[in-house]
Structure 1
Amino acid sequence: MPDTATREAVVIADVHDPADVHGVHAAEGHSRWTCLARRTGLHGRWEAVEWAWLPPGGVSGEHRHSRTEEVYFVLDGRGEITLDGRAYPVHPGSIVLTGLGRRHGLRNTGRQPLSWLVIEIPADAPTPTSTKDTTMDDSPHVSHAVVADLRRSGPVDAATVLTGPLRTVRVTRLLPRGTAELAARDVEHTVYVTDGAGTAEAGATTVALAPGVSVTLPLGTAARVLAGDDGLEYFHAVLDVPSGEEHQ
Protein backbone atom coordinates (compact mmCIF):
# COMPACT_ATOMS: atom_id res chain seq x y z
CA MET A 1 0.00 0.00 0.00
CA PRO A 2 1.19 3.58 -0.58
CA ASP A 3 2.99 5.73 1.95
CA THR A 4 0.02 7.96 2.75
CA ALA A 5 -0.07 10.67 5.41
CA THR A 6 -2.30 13.54 6.47
CA ARG A 7 -0.39 16.72 7.29
CA GLU A 8 -2.19 19.98 8.05
CA ALA A 9 -5.35 18.18 6.77
CA VAL A 10 -3.77 17.76 3.31
CA VAL A 11 -3.68 14.16 2.04
CA ILE A 12 -0.32 13.15 0.53
CA ALA A 13 0.27 9.83 -1.24
CA ASP A 14 2.49 8.24 -3.87
CA VAL A 15 2.52 5.18 -6.12
CA HIS A 16 5.87 3.70 -5.12
CA ASP A 17 4.58 0.72 -3.12
CA PRO A 18 1.45 -0.58 -4.90
CA ALA A 19 -0.50 -3.69 -4.05
CA ASP A 20 -0.48 -6.70 -6.40
CA VAL A 21 -3.93 -7.64 -7.67
CA HIS A 22 -4.93 -10.80 -9.50
CA GLY A 23 -8.08 -11.11 -11.57
CA VAL A 24 -9.18 -7.45 -11.52
CA HIS A 25 -12.86 -7.23 -12.51
CA ALA A 26 -12.88 -10.99 -13.14
CA ALA A 27 -10.11 -10.80 -15.76
CA GLU A 28 -7.20 -13.24 -15.71
CA GLY A 29 -3.70 -12.06 -14.94
CA HIS A 30 -1.78 -9.69 -12.69
CA SER A 31 -2.17 -5.95 -12.11
CA ARG A 32 -1.06 -3.34 -9.58
CA TRP A 33 -3.14 -0.82 -7.66
CA THR A 34 -2.93 1.79 -4.94
CA CYS A 35 -5.38 4.22 -3.34
CA LEU A 36 -4.29 7.86 -3.33
CA ALA A 37 -7.32 9.32 -1.52
CA ARG A 38 -10.65 8.04 -0.30
CA ARG A 39 -13.88 9.37 1.16
CA THR A 40 -12.58 9.15 4.74
CA GLY A 41 -11.07 12.50 5.74
CA LEU A 42 -12.72 14.40 2.89
CA HIS A 43 -15.98 16.33 2.88
CA GLY A 44 -17.05 15.85 -0.73
CA ARG A 45 -18.68 12.76 -2.19
CA TRP A 46 -15.54 11.14 -3.55
CA GLU A 47 -15.54 7.36 -3.74
CA ALA A 48 -11.79 7.08 -4.32
CA VAL A 49 -8.80 8.39 -6.26
CA GLU A 50 -6.61 5.48 -7.36
CA TRP A 51 -3.62 4.49 -9.48
CA ALA A 52 -3.74 1.31 -11.55
CA TRP A 53 -1.23 -0.61 -13.68
CA LEU A 54 -1.33 -3.42 -16.25
CA PRO A 55 1.58 -5.34 -17.82
CA PRO A 56 1.77 -5.77 -21.61
CA GLY A 57 -1.22 -7.85 -22.65
CA GLY A 58 -2.94 -7.28 -19.30
CA VAL A 59 -6.67 -6.71 -18.98
CA SER A 60 -8.96 -4.90 -16.54
CA GLY A 61 -12.19 -6.79 -17.15
CA GLU A 62 -15.36 -5.22 -18.51
CA HIS A 63 -17.89 -4.16 -15.87
CA ARG A 64 -21.00 -1.98 -15.66
CA HIS A 65 -21.33 1.05 -13.41
CA SER A 66 -24.71 0.82 -11.72
CA ARG A 67 -23.98 3.13 -8.76
CA THR A 68 -20.88 5.19 -9.53
CA GLU A 69 -19.33 7.10 -12.42
CA GLU A 70 -15.64 6.95 -13.31
CA VAL A 71 -12.81 8.92 -14.88
CA TYR A 72 -9.68 7.30 -16.31
CA PHE A 73 -6.59 9.38 -17.14
CA VAL A 74 -3.82 7.47 -18.93
CA LEU A 75 -0.33 8.16 -17.59
CA ASP A 76 1.95 5.74 -19.46
CA GLY A 77 1.66 3.10 -22.16
CA ARG A 78 -0.93 2.41 -24.81
CA GLY A 79 -4.17 0.54 -24.59
CA GLU A 80 -7.72 0.04 -25.74
CA ILE A 81 -10.79 1.06 -23.78
CA THR A 82 -14.03 -0.78 -24.53
CA LEU A 83 -17.20 1.23 -23.97
CA ASP A 84 -20.47 -0.65 -24.35
CA GLY A 85 -18.83 -3.10 -26.72
CA ARG A 86 -16.92 -0.59 -28.87
CA ALA A 87 -13.13 -0.25 -28.65
CA TYR A 88 -11.20 3.05 -28.67
CA PRO A 89 -7.40 3.51 -28.52
CA VAL A 90 -5.92 5.39 -25.56
CA HIS A 91 -2.43 6.77 -24.91
CA PRO A 92 -0.67 9.07 -22.41
CA GLY A 93 -2.94 12.09 -21.93
CA SER A 94 -6.14 10.27 -22.87
CA ILE A 95 -9.08 10.86 -20.57
CA VAL A 96 -12.19 8.68 -20.47
CA LEU A 97 -15.34 9.77 -18.64
CA THR A 98 -17.78 6.88 -18.17
CA GLY A 99 -21.30 7.74 -17.09
CA LEU A 100 -23.79 5.85 -14.99
CA GLY A 101 -25.05 2.62 -16.54
CA ARG A 102 -22.19 2.32 -19.04
CA ARG A 103 -20.02 -0.78 -19.37
CA HIS A 104 -16.25 -0.48 -19.84
CA GLY A 105 -12.98 -2.41 -19.70
CA LEU A 106 -9.32 -1.67 -20.47
CA ARG A 107 -6.60 -3.69 -22.20
CA ASN A 108 -2.86 -3.00 -22.54
CA THR A 109 -2.11 -3.27 -26.25
CA GLY A 110 1.45 -1.93 -26.10
CA ARG A 111 4.90 -3.31 -25.30
CA GLN A 112 5.29 -1.32 -22.09
CA PRO A 113 3.23 -1.26 -18.87
CA LEU A 114 0.02 0.74 -18.97
CA SER A 115 -0.79 2.96 -15.97
CA TRP A 116 -3.68 5.30 -15.33
CA LEU A 117 -5.48 7.32 -12.67
CA VAL A 118 -9.01 6.38 -11.60
CA ILE A 119 -11.49 8.81 -10.03
CA GLU A 120 -14.69 7.13 -8.90
CA ILE A 121 -17.66 9.27 -7.86
CA PRO A 122 -21.18 8.34 -6.68
CA ALA A 123 -23.76 9.30 -9.31
CA ASP A 124 -26.71 11.60 -8.64
CA ALA A 125 -29.20 10.15 -11.13
CA PRO A 126 -30.66 6.76 -12.10
CA THR A 127 -29.32 4.89 -15.11
CA PRO A 128 -30.04 7.10 -18.16
CA THR A 129 -32.61 5.92 -20.67
CA SER A 130 -31.86 8.45 -23.41
CA THR A 131 -28.63 8.74 -25.36
CA LYS A 132 -26.24 11.65 -25.27
CA ASP A 133 -23.20 11.67 -27.54
CA THR A 134 -20.25 13.84 -26.60
CA THR A 135 -17.25 14.24 -28.91
CA MET A 136 -13.94 15.90 -28.05
CA ASP A 137 -11.20 16.59 -30.64
CA ASP A 138 -11.43 13.91 -33.33
CA SER A 139 -12.74 11.21 -30.99
CA PRO A 140 -15.73 9.14 -32.15
CA HIS A 141 -19.19 9.45 -30.64
CA VAL A 142 -19.61 7.47 -27.41
CA SER A 143 -22.95 7.30 -25.62
CA HIS A 144 -22.78 8.84 -22.12
CA ALA A 145 -18.99 8.97 -22.25
CA VAL A 146 -16.12 11.13 -23.43
CA VAL A 147 -12.83 9.93 -24.87
CA ALA A 148 -10.39 12.83 -25.36
CA ASP A 149 -6.74 13.85 -25.35
CA LEU A 150 -6.71 16.11 -22.29
CA ARG A 151 -3.45 17.80 -23.25
CA ARG A 152 -4.91 18.76 -26.65
CA SER A 153 -8.47 19.51 -25.65
CA GLY A 154 -7.77 21.62 -22.59
CA PRO A 155 -10.00 21.49 -19.49
CA VAL A 156 -13.02 19.17 -19.63
CA ASP A 157 -16.26 19.93 -17.79
CA ALA A 158 -17.20 16.57 -16.29
CA ALA A 159 -20.79 17.76 -15.84
CA THR A 160 -21.32 17.42 -19.60
CA VAL A 161 -21.33 13.64 -19.12
CA LEU A 162 -21.38 12.78 -15.42
CA THR A 163 -24.26 13.45 -13.03
CA GLY A 164 -22.23 13.57 -9.82
CA PRO A 165 -20.25 16.42 -8.20
CA LEU A 166 -17.01 16.09 -10.21
CA ARG A 167 -16.43 19.25 -12.23
CA THR A 168 -13.26 20.35 -14.04
CA VAL A 169 -10.48 17.95 -15.03
CA ARG A 170 -7.37 19.33 -16.68
CA VAL A 171 -3.62 19.04 -17.17
CA THR A 172 -1.71 22.05 -15.86
CA ARG A 173 1.82 22.88 -16.98
CA LEU A 174 3.78 25.40 -14.89
CA LEU A 175 6.80 27.11 -16.37
CA PRO A 176 10.14 26.89 -14.50
CA ARG A 177 9.73 28.56 -11.09
CA GLY A 178 6.05 29.17 -11.85
CA THR A 179 3.36 29.01 -9.17
CA ALA A 180 -0.32 28.12 -8.80
CA GLU A 181 -2.65 28.81 -5.88
CA LEU A 182 -5.25 26.17 -4.96
CA ALA A 183 -7.99 26.99 -2.45
CA ALA A 184 -10.63 24.46 -1.36
CA ARG A 185 -13.61 26.79 -0.95
CA ASP A 186 -16.86 25.00 -1.80
CA VAL A 187 -14.69 22.49 -3.70
CA GLU A 188 -11.99 19.91 -3.06
CA HIS A 189 -8.92 19.36 -5.24
CA THR A 190 -6.82 16.36 -6.13
CA VAL A 191 -3.51 16.83 -7.95
CA TYR A 192 -1.21 14.13 -9.39
CA VAL A 193 2.26 15.03 -10.67
CA THR A 194 3.00 13.70 -14.17
CA ASP A 195 6.28 15.44 -15.03
CA GLY A 196 8.93 17.72 -13.55
CA ALA A 197 9.50 18.60 -9.92
CA GLY A 198 8.61 21.23 -7.37
CA THR A 199 6.94 21.70 -4.00
CA ALA A 200 3.49 22.24 -2.52
CA GLU A 201 3.19 24.53 0.51
CA ALA A 202 0.15 24.00 2.74
CA GLY A 203 0.31 25.95 5.97
CA ALA A 204 3.50 24.97 7.75
CA THR A 205 3.91 21.85 5.58
CA THR A 206 6.08 21.64 2.46
CA VAL A 207 5.68 18.59 0.22
CA ALA A 208 8.24 17.60 -2.40
CA LEU A 209 6.53 17.06 -5.75
CA ALA A 210 7.73 14.55 -8.34
CA PRO A 211 6.05 12.17 -10.80
CA GLY A 212 3.86 9.72 -8.90
CA VAL A 213 3.09 12.06 -5.99
CA SER A 214 -0.53 13.01 -5.24
CA VAL A 215 -1.86 15.86 -3.09
CA THR A 216 -5.56 16.11 -2.18
CA LEU A 217 -6.97 19.25 -0.52
CA PRO A 218 -10.01 18.76 1.73
CA LEU A 219 -12.57 21.52 2.15
CA GLY A 220 -11.20 24.59 3.93
CA THR A 221 -7.54 24.01 3.06
CA ALA A 222 -5.23 25.69 0.56
CA ALA A 223 -1.87 25.07 -1.07
CA ARG A 224 0.64 26.93 -3.16
CA VAL A 225 2.26 24.83 -5.90
CA LEU A 226 5.77 25.88 -6.99
CA ALA A 227 7.54 24.44 -10.04
CA GLY A 228 11.24 23.64 -10.00
CA ASP A 229 13.89 24.72 -12.48
CA ASP A 230 12.53 22.42 -15.22
CA GLY A 231 8.85 23.21 -14.75
CA LEU A 232 6.05 21.01 -13.45
CA GLU A 233 3.06 19.23 -14.97
CA TYR A 234 0.14 17.77 -13.05
CA PHE A 235 -3.32 16.30 -13.54
CA HIS A 236 -5.91 18.29 -11.61
CA ALA A 237 -9.52 17.39 -10.74
CA VAL A 238 -12.03 19.58 -8.88
CA LEU A 239 -15.10 18.29 -7.02
CA ASP A 240 -17.99 20.49 -5.88
CA VAL A 241 -18.88 20.44 -2.16
CA PRO A 242 -22.19 22.35 -1.94
CA SER A 243 -22.90 24.06 1.37
CA GLY A 244 -24.77 21.77 3.73
CA GLU A 245 -23.79 18.58 1.90
CA GLU A 246 -20.38 18.03 3.50
CA HIS A 247 -19.74 14.72 5.20
CA GLN A 248 -16.85 12.79 6.66
Structure 2
Amino acid sequence: MNTNAPTSPMPLTPTSTVPAARTAPRAFCITSSTTERPARIQGVHGTVGWSGWKALAARRHLQAPIEAVEWATIPAGGISGEHLHSRTEEIYLILRGHGDFLLDGTAHPVHPGSLAFTGLGHVHGLVSTRGERIEWLVIETLAAITQERYRRSTDEGSSAELLPQTSALAERGHQSHPATTGTTNTHGTTRAPRTAGSTPHQLPGSTGGIAVGHAVIVDLNDQPVIDASDIFTGPLRRVERCVLAAGEQRCFGQDDAETVIFIDDGTLQTNIAGEEHLRTGSCLTLPAGEKLLVGAQQHSRLYVITLVVPSGQP
Protein backbone atom coordinates (compact mmCIF):
# COMPACT_ATOMS: atom_id res chain seq x y z
CA MET A 1 0.00 0.00 0.00
CA ASN A 2 1.31 3.44 -0.90
CA THR A 3 1.33 5.65 2.20
CA ASN A 4 3.12 8.63 0.68
CA ALA A 5 0.22 11.08 0.51
CA PRO A 6 0.84 14.66 -0.62
CA THR A 7 1.71 17.06 2.20
CA SER A 8 -1.16 19.40 1.29
CA PRO A 9 -4.65 18.52 -0.05
CA MET A 10 -5.27 19.07 -3.73
CA PRO A 11 -8.43 21.18 -4.20
CA LEU A 12 -11.36 19.64 -6.02
CA THR A 13 -12.47 21.35 -9.21
CA PRO A 14 -16.29 21.40 -9.37
CA THR A 15 -17.90 21.55 -12.80
CA SER A 16 -21.38 22.42 -13.98
CA THR A 17 -22.15 18.70 -14.26
CA VAL A 18 -21.08 17.88 -10.68
CA PRO A 19 -23.33 19.61 -8.14
CA ALA A 20 -22.26 20.15 -4.56
CA ALA A 21 -23.45 17.55 -2.08
CA ARG A 22 -27.13 17.96 -1.15
CA THR A 23 -28.11 19.51 2.16
CA ALA A 24 -31.90 19.17 1.78
CA PRO A 25 -33.70 16.51 3.89
CA ARG A 26 -33.89 13.09 2.26
CA ALA A 27 -35.54 9.77 3.06
CA PHE A 28 -32.20 7.93 2.91
CA CYS A 29 -28.87 9.47 3.85
CA ILE A 30 -25.21 9.00 3.02
CA THR A 31 -23.68 6.42 5.35
CA SER A 32 -20.01 6.14 6.20
CA SER A 33 -18.04 3.39 7.88
CA THR A 34 -14.57 1.83 8.01
CA THR A 35 -13.11 -1.63 8.51
CA GLU A 36 -11.53 -0.57 11.81
CA ARG A 37 -12.35 -2.50 15.01
CA PRO A 38 -14.09 -5.53 13.47
CA ALA A 39 -15.86 -8.11 15.59
CA ARG A 40 -14.10 -11.45 16.16
CA ILE A 41 -16.50 -14.35 15.62
CA GLN A 42 -15.98 -18.05 16.24
CA GLY A 43 -17.43 -20.79 14.02
CA VAL A 44 -18.94 -18.73 11.18
CA HIS A 45 -21.35 -20.84 9.10
CA GLY A 46 -20.75 -23.87 11.28
CA THR A 47 -17.01 -24.19 10.73
CA VAL A 48 -14.16 -24.02 13.26
CA GLY A 49 -11.83 -21.12 14.03
CA TRP A 50 -12.40 -17.38 14.04
CA SER A 51 -13.34 -14.76 11.47
CA GLY A 52 -13.21 -10.98 11.57
CA TRP A 53 -16.41 -9.19 10.57
CA LYS A 54 -17.66 -5.61 10.25
CA ALA A 55 -21.05 -4.39 8.97
CA LEU A 56 -20.45 -1.33 6.76
CA ALA A 57 -24.12 -0.72 5.93
CA ALA A 58 -27.30 -2.55 6.89
CA ARG A 59 -30.81 -2.99 5.54
CA ARG A 60 -32.12 0.11 7.34
CA HIS A 61 -29.51 2.32 5.66
CA LEU A 62 -30.48 1.58 2.07
CA GLN A 63 -33.60 1.80 -0.05
CA ALA A 64 -32.64 -1.17 -2.24
CA PRO A 65 -33.70 -4.59 -0.89
CA ILE A 66 -30.44 -5.75 0.68
CA GLU A 67 -29.36 -7.60 3.80
CA ALA A 68 -26.01 -5.89 4.36
CA VAL A 69 -22.71 -4.54 3.06
CA GLU A 70 -19.93 -6.20 5.06
CA TRP A 71 -16.18 -6.64 5.35
CA ALA A 72 -14.80 -9.99 6.47
CA THR A 73 -11.45 -11.66 7.08
CA ILE A 74 -10.06 -15.08 7.98
CA PRO A 75 -6.53 -15.79 9.24
CA ALA A 76 -3.91 -17.87 7.44
CA GLY A 77 -5.34 -21.37 7.12
CA GLY A 78 -8.78 -20.11 8.12
CA ILE A 79 -12.17 -21.16 6.76
CA SER A 80 -15.46 -19.39 6.12
CA GLY A 81 -17.81 -22.37 6.16
CA GLU A 82 -19.87 -23.62 3.23
CA HIS A 83 -23.53 -22.64 3.34
CA LEU A 84 -26.54 -22.64 1.02
CA HIS A 85 -28.18 -19.47 -0.27
CA SER A 86 -31.92 -20.06 -0.18
CA ARG A 87 -33.20 -16.43 0.02
CA THR A 88 -30.40 -14.12 -1.03
CA GLU A 89 -27.82 -13.43 -3.71
CA GLU A 90 -24.32 -12.55 -2.55
CA ILE A 91 -20.98 -11.36 -3.87
CA TYR A 92 -17.55 -12.04 -2.39
CA LEU A 93 -14.96 -9.53 -3.66
CA ILE A 94 -11.44 -10.58 -2.62
CA LEU A 95 -9.36 -7.64 -1.35
CA ARG A 96 -6.29 -9.31 0.20
CA GLY A 97 -4.74 -12.76 0.15
CA HIS A 98 -5.10 -15.95 -1.89
CA GLY A 99 -7.30 -18.96 -1.32
CA ASP A 100 -10.00 -21.23 -2.69
CA PHE A 101 -13.57 -20.11 -3.26
CA LEU A 102 -15.73 -23.20 -2.73
CA LEU A 103 -18.68 -23.34 -5.10
CA ASP A 104 -21.01 -26.33 -4.81
CA GLY A 105 -18.15 -28.40 -3.39
CA THR A 106 -15.57 -27.46 -6.03
CA ALA A 107 -12.55 -25.29 -5.19
CA HIS A 108 -11.66 -22.35 -7.46
CA PRO A 109 -8.45 -20.35 -6.80
CA VAL A 110 -9.08 -16.67 -5.99
CA HIS A 111 -6.84 -13.66 -5.40
CA PRO A 112 -7.19 -9.87 -4.96
CA GLY A 113 -9.66 -8.68 -7.60
CA SER A 114 -11.54 -11.99 -7.86
CA LEU A 115 -15.29 -11.46 -7.77
CA ALA A 116 -17.63 -14.36 -7.01
CA PHE A 117 -21.40 -14.16 -7.54
CA THR A 118 -23.50 -16.72 -5.65
CA GLY A 119 -27.22 -16.94 -6.44
CA LEU A 120 -30.12 -18.96 -5.11
CA GLY A 121 -29.62 -22.69 -4.71
CA HIS A 122 -25.82 -22.57 -4.59
CA VAL A 123 -23.47 -23.50 -1.76
CA HIS A 124 -20.33 -21.45 -1.21
CA GLY A 125 -17.45 -20.97 1.23
CA LEU A 126 -13.89 -19.66 1.36
CA VAL A 127 -10.59 -21.21 2.50
CA SER A 128 -7.14 -19.64 3.00
CA THR A 129 -4.67 -21.94 1.24
CA ARG A 130 -1.32 -20.11 0.99
CA GLY A 131 -0.63 -19.22 4.58
CA GLU A 132 -2.15 -15.77 4.01
CA ARG A 133 -4.84 -13.78 5.72
CA ILE A 134 -7.80 -13.18 3.38
CA GLU A 135 -9.98 -10.06 3.40
CA TRP A 136 -13.09 -9.65 1.28
CA LEU A 137 -16.09 -7.39 0.71
CA VAL A 138 -19.56 -8.94 0.98
CA ILE A 139 -22.82 -7.58 -0.41
CA GLU A 140 -25.93 -9.67 0.20
CA THR A 141 -29.21 -8.76 -1.53
CA LEU A 142 -32.69 -10.24 -1.73
CA ALA A 143 -33.39 -12.25 -4.87
CA ALA A 144 -36.43 -11.23 -6.94
CA ILE A 145 -38.42 -14.34 -5.98
CA THR A 146 -37.73 -13.66 -2.30
CA GLN A 147 -38.91 -10.06 -2.63
CA GLU A 148 -42.10 -11.23 -4.35
CA ARG A 149 -42.83 -13.86 -1.72
CA TYR A 150 -42.24 -11.32 1.05
CA ARG A 151 -44.72 -8.99 -0.62
CA ARG A 152 -47.23 -11.79 -1.09
CA SER A 153 -46.84 -12.87 2.51
CA THR A 154 -47.41 -9.30 3.69
CA ASP A 155 -50.44 -8.83 1.45
CA GLU A 156 -51.97 -12.11 2.62
CA GLY A 157 -51.15 -11.44 6.25
CA SER A 158 -49.42 -14.79 6.66
CA SER A 159 -45.95 -16.20 6.98
CA ALA A 160 -46.03 -17.82 3.56
CA GLU A 161 -43.20 -20.18 2.70
CA LEU A 162 -40.53 -18.17 0.91
CA LEU A 163 -39.19 -20.86 -1.39
CA PRO A 164 -40.53 -24.18 -2.70
CA GLN A 165 -39.56 -27.10 -0.47
CA THR A 166 -36.99 -29.16 -2.34
CA SER A 167 -33.57 -30.31 -1.23
CA ALA A 168 -30.97 -28.26 -3.07
CA LEU A 169 -28.12 -30.38 -1.78
CA ALA A 170 -29.78 -33.61 -2.86
CA GLU A 171 -30.82 -32.14 -6.22
CA ARG A 172 -27.28 -30.95 -6.96
CA GLY A 173 -25.66 -34.04 -5.51
CA HIS A 174 -23.55 -31.63 -3.48
CA GLN A 175 -20.53 -32.92 -1.60
CA SER A 176 -18.76 -30.63 0.86
CA HIS A 177 -15.20 -29.69 0.04
CA PRO A 178 -12.71 -31.72 2.14
CA ALA A 179 -11.53 -28.54 3.87
CA THR A 180 -14.98 -28.05 5.38
CA THR A 181 -16.29 -31.62 5.61
CA GLY A 182 -18.87 -31.84 8.33
CA THR A 183 -19.31 -28.06 8.55
CA THR A 184 -21.87 -27.36 5.82
CA ASN A 185 -24.71 -25.18 7.07
CA THR A 186 -27.62 -25.29 4.64
CA HIS A 187 -29.57 -22.41 6.23
CA GLY A 188 -32.64 -24.47 5.28
CA THR A 189 -32.74 -26.92 2.40
CA THR A 190 -34.69 -24.92 -0.15
CA ARG A 191 -33.92 -23.55 -3.55
CA ALA A 192 -35.61 -21.36 -6.12
CA PRO A 193 -36.97 -22.94 -9.32
CA ARG A 194 -34.93 -22.22 -12.43
CA THR A 195 -36.09 -19.13 -14.27
CA ALA A 196 -35.41 -17.71 -17.70
CA GLY A 197 -31.75 -16.93 -18.08
CA SER A 198 -30.67 -19.21 -15.24
CA THR A 199 -29.08 -21.90 -17.35
CA PRO A 200 -25.28 -22.23 -17.14
CA HIS A 201 -23.63 -19.37 -19.03
CA GLN A 202 -20.46 -17.35 -19.44
CA LEU A 203 -20.47 -13.62 -18.90
CA PRO A 204 -20.53 -11.88 -22.28
CA GLY A 205 -16.95 -11.01 -23.12
CA SER A 206 -15.53 -12.58 -19.97
CA THR A 207 -12.11 -14.16 -19.99
CA GLY A 208 -11.84 -17.49 -18.24
CA GLY A 209 -14.97 -16.89 -16.15
CA ILE A 210 -16.40 -19.89 -14.30
CA ALA A 211 -20.19 -20.09 -14.46
CA VAL A 212 -22.68 -22.50 -12.92
CA GLY A 213 -26.27 -21.29 -13.26
CA HIS A 214 -26.58 -18.12 -11.19
CA ALA A 215 -23.02 -18.46 -9.84
CA VAL A 216 -20.11 -16.79 -11.65
CA ILE A 217 -16.48 -16.09 -10.80
CA VAL A 218 -14.62 -13.36 -12.70
CA ASP A 219 -11.38 -11.39 -12.37
CA LEU A 220 -11.85 -7.62 -12.10
CA ASN A 221 -8.17 -7.13 -12.93
CA ASP A 222 -8.93 -8.40 -16.45
CA GLN A 223 -12.50 -7.13 -16.75
CA PRO A 224 -12.90 -4.09 -14.46
CA VAL A 225 -16.62 -3.51 -15.12
CA ILE A 226 -19.18 -6.29 -14.65
CA ASP A 227 -22.85 -5.97 -15.61
CA ALA A 228 -24.66 -8.20 -13.10
CA SER A 229 -28.15 -7.88 -14.64
CA ASP A 230 -27.79 -11.27 -16.38
CA ILE A 231 -26.45 -12.97 -13.24
CA PHE A 232 -28.54 -11.75 -10.31
CA THR A 233 -32.28 -11.12 -10.16
CA GLY A 234 -32.18 -8.65 -7.25
CA PRO A 235 -30.99 -5.03 -7.02
CA LEU A 236 -27.24 -5.52 -7.61
CA ARG A 237 -26.60 -4.34 -11.17
CA ARG A 238 -22.96 -3.36 -11.61
CA VAL A 239 -19.54 -3.84 -10.04
CA GLU A 240 -16.53 -1.74 -11.07
CA ARG A 241 -12.86 -1.75 -10.14
CA CYS A 242 -11.80 1.89 -10.42
CA VAL A 243 -8.19 3.08 -10.38
CA LEU A 244 -7.44 6.81 -10.06
CA ALA A 245 -4.05 8.43 -10.59
CA ALA A 246 -2.89 11.12 -8.15
CA GLY A 247 -4.81 14.31 -8.93
CA GLU A 248 -7.50 12.54 -10.98
CA GLN A 249 -11.16 13.35 -10.22
CA ARG A 250 -14.37 11.44 -10.76
CA CYS A 251 -18.06 11.84 -9.96
CA PHE A 252 -20.18 8.98 -8.62
CA GLY A 253 -23.91 8.57 -8.04
CA GLN A 254 -27.07 7.91 -10.06
CA ASP A 255 -30.62 9.22 -9.99
CA ASP A 256 -32.26 5.78 -9.98
CA ALA A 257 -29.75 3.72 -7.98
CA GLU A 258 -27.81 3.67 -4.75
CA THR A 259 -24.03 3.47 -4.89
CA VAL A 260 -21.60 1.67 -2.58
CA ILE A 261 -18.00 2.96 -2.74
CA PHE A 262 -15.25 1.01 -0.96
CA ILE A 263 -11.71 2.44 -0.81
CA ASP A 264 -9.38 -0.53 -1.20
CA ASP A 265 -6.16 1.48 -1.29
CA GLY A 266 -5.28 5.16 -1.31
CA THR A 267 -6.55 8.52 -0.05
CA LEU A 268 -9.40 10.54 -1.55
CA GLN A 269 -10.77 14.03 -1.01
CA THR A 270 -14.55 14.49 -1.36
CA ASN A 271 -17.12 17.29 -1.60
CA ILE A 272 -19.15 15.97 1.36
CA ALA A 273 -18.97 17.88 4.63
CA GLY A 274 -17.64 15.69 7.42
CA GLU A 275 -16.24 13.16 4.95
CA GLU A 276 -13.73 15.38 3.17
CA HIS A 277 -11.00 12.73 3.35
CA LEU A 278 -11.38 8.99 2.80
CA ARG A 279 -8.62 6.46 3.30
CA THR A 280 -8.04 2.74 2.80
CA GLY A 281 -10.86 0.72 4.35
CA SER A 282 -13.47 3.50 4.15
CA CYS A 283 -16.93 2.77 2.73
CA LEU A 284 -19.62 5.22 1.65
CA THR A 285 -23.17 4.46 0.51
CA LEU A 286 -24.91 7.13 -1.57
CA PRO A 287 -28.72 7.32 -1.81
CA ALA A 288 -30.34 7.63 -5.23
CA GLY A 289 -29.92 11.16 -6.55
CA GLU A 290 -26.82 11.94 -4.50
CA LYS A 291 -23.64 12.94 -6.34
CA LEU A 292 -20.14 12.49 -4.94
CA LEU A 293 -17.07 14.19 -6.38
CA VAL A 294 -13.75 12.64 -5.36
CA GLY A 295 -10.16 13.58 -6.06
CA ALA A 296 -7.29 11.13 -5.55
CA GLN A 297 -4.58 12.47 -3.26
CA GLN A 298 -2.38 9.57 -4.37
CA HIS A 299 -2.72 6.54 -6.62
CA SER A 300 -5.96 4.99 -5.39
CA ARG A 301 -8.05 1.87 -6.02
CA LEU A 302 -11.73 1.62 -5.17
CA TYR A 303 -14.67 -0.64 -5.88
CA VAL A 304 -18.04 0.81 -6.89
CA ILE A 305 -21.24 -1.23 -6.66
CA THR A 306 -24.60 -0.11 -8.07
CA LEU A 307 -27.88 -1.13 -6.38
CA VAL A 308 -31.10 -0.36 -8.27
CA VAL A 309 -33.85 1.29 -6.23
CA PRO A 310 -37.33 -0.27 -6.54
CA SER A 311 -39.44 1.59 -9.09
CA GLY A 312 -42.20 3.82 -7.79
CA GLN A 313 -40.30 4.69 -4.60
CA PRO A 314 -38.98 8.19 -3.87
Instruction: Tell me if the contact between 2:99 and 2:111 (Cα under 8 Å) persists in the aligned partners.
Output: yes
Quote the Cα distance in structure 1 between the aligned partners of 2:62 and 2:68.
Answer: 10
Amino acid aligned to 2:265: D
Query: How high is the TM-score relative to the length of structure 2?
Result: 0.72
Instruction: Name which of 65, 70, 95 aligns with 1:75.
Output: 95
Instruction: Name which of 81, 89, 101 aligns with 1:61.
Output: 81
Instruction: Tell me if the contact between 2:73 and 2:134 (Cα under 8 Å) persists in the aligned partners.
Output: yes
Instruction: Name which of 250, 262, 270 aligns with 1:180.
Output: 250
Alignment pair present for 1:234 and 2:254: no
Higher strand share: 1
Quote the Cα distance in structure 2 between the aligned partners of 1:103 and 1:180.
Answer: 37
- Unmatched segments (≥5 aa) in structure 1: 1-6
Higher helix share: 2
Instruction: Tell me if the contact between 1:64 and 1:104 (Cα under 8 Å) persists in the aligned partners.
Output: yes
Kindly report the root-mean-square deviation, in angstroms, between the aligned alpha carbons of the 2 structures: 1.7
Tell me how far 1:245 sits from its aligned partner.
4.0
Alignment pair present for 1:131 and 2:182: no
Which residue is 1:140 aligned to? 210
Instruction: Name which of 46, 70, 74 aligns with 1:26.
Output: 46
Instruction: Tell me if the contact between 2:77 and 2:132 (Cα under 8 Å) persists in the aligned partners.
Output: no
Which residue is 2:275 aligned to? 206
Residue deviations 1:174-202 (CA, integer Å, cap 9, x gap): 12111111224110000111112112222
Quote the Cα distance in structure 2 between the aligned partners of 1:49 and 1:118.
Answer: 6
- The 10-residue stretch of structure 1 (140-149 or 109-118) with the greater mean CA deviation from structure 2: 140-149
Tell me how far 1:150 sits from its aligned partner.
0.8
Q: Counterpart of 1:160 in 2: which secondary structure?
A: coil
Instruction: Tell me if the contact between 1:49 and 1:118 (Cα under 8 Å) persists in the aligned partners.
Output: yes
Instruction: Tell me if the contact between 2:55 and 2:68 (Cα under 8 Å) persists in the aligned partners.
Output: yes
Quote the Cα distance in structure 1 between the aligned partners of 2:271 and 2:193.
Answer: 42
Q: Counterpart of 1:220 in 2: which secondary structure?
A: coil
- The 10-residue stretch of structure 1 (30-39 or 193-202) with the greater mean CA deviation from structure 2: 193-202
Query: How high is the TM-score relative to the length of structure 1?
Result: 0.90
State the identity %: 40
Which residue is 2:172 aligned to? none
Quote the Cα distance in structure 1 between the aligned partners of 2:211 and 2:237.
Answer: 21
Quote the Cα distance in structure 1 between the aligned partners of 2:213 and 2:128.
Answer: 23
Which residue is 1:122 aligned to? 142
Residue deviations 1:78-101 (CA, integer Å, cap 9, x gap): 110111111100000000011111
Larger Rg: 2
Name the CA shift for 1:128/1:137 in 2 (closer, same or farther; >3 Å). Answer: farther
